[in-house]
Amino acid sequence: MSFSSEVKTELACVLPENDCCREAQQHAHEMFSRRTEPIYDRLFIKECCVYAFLRGAFLAVGSVTDPKKDYHLEFASPHQQLCRDLLALMEGLGLNPKYMTRKGSGIVYFKESEQIEDLLTMMSATNSSLEIMGVKILKNIRNKANRVTNCETANITKTVDAASLQLEMIEIIYRKAGLDSLPPELREIALERMNNPDMSLRELGEQLSPPLSRSGVNHRLARLKKIADELRGIK
């Protein structure tokens, strides 16, 4: 069963609160199914009658996309003026529907998940509204996890690439002059990098005696690069 069918099944099980709600719901279903007259204010004795009317309209011409795929709820009818009246009715409830035409039919639709949740709740499709909220929470969790993973992957890649360049310049110094030619503090950082190629600058600094900050490690590595460039004849 599609999500749209599940929503309609839930709505079909809702018992109108009183006679005026039952009349409003039935009238909406008949109006959108067969008739074209405008929406009359006399149908709405109470606010609950408005909600019942929306429920009847959705049962007649409404549909909603599975929230796992997209957020989209619409009312579609060949009676365009009736759709415009429905648009105005929803706006009076504080909702913000959009309107368009498709193959000669009027379409009143929502794309924002919060608006869809509010409308479903008004129509008493509470379980369906809660299901959309649950799907949205899971999407947000997955998106956040993916952003964290992508960020961590990017940082790891950056660290590995930087370490490879540092090992390359240390190898140049080793082959052309030997590490013993370096001042003690530079020889220490060179040896630590060779022994710990996967460490970040912060972790590398913690291995030194005394420990150095990330900027301190970066400064020493910059000095090593300058020595390596001079040995290669790069100014």
Q: Tens digits of per-residue pLDDT, 60-78?
A: 999 999 998 989 999 998 8
Q: Is the Cα torsion angle 117, 118, 120, 125 positive or negative in sign?
A: positive
Residue spans of the domains in the chain: they are 3-133, 147-231
Label residue 94 left, alpha or beta by phi (over 0 means left) and psi (-120 to 50 means alpha): left
Question: Greater confidence, 10 or 152?
Answer: 10
The pLDDT of residue 235 is above 60: no
Domain 3-133: what homologous superfamily?
A: Homing endonucleases (3.10.28.10)
State phi, psi for 65 to the nearest 5 degrees: -80, 150
Predicted TM-score of the model (pTM): 0.64
Digit-coded pLDDT (tens) for 33-64: 876 666 766 667 678 888 989 999 999 999 99
The secondary structure of residue 41, as a DSSP letter, is: G
Cβ contacts of 192-198, under 8 Å, gap ≥ 24: 193/163, 193/166, 193/167, 193/221, 194/167, 194/170, 197/163, 197/164, 197/167, 198/159, 198/160, 198/163
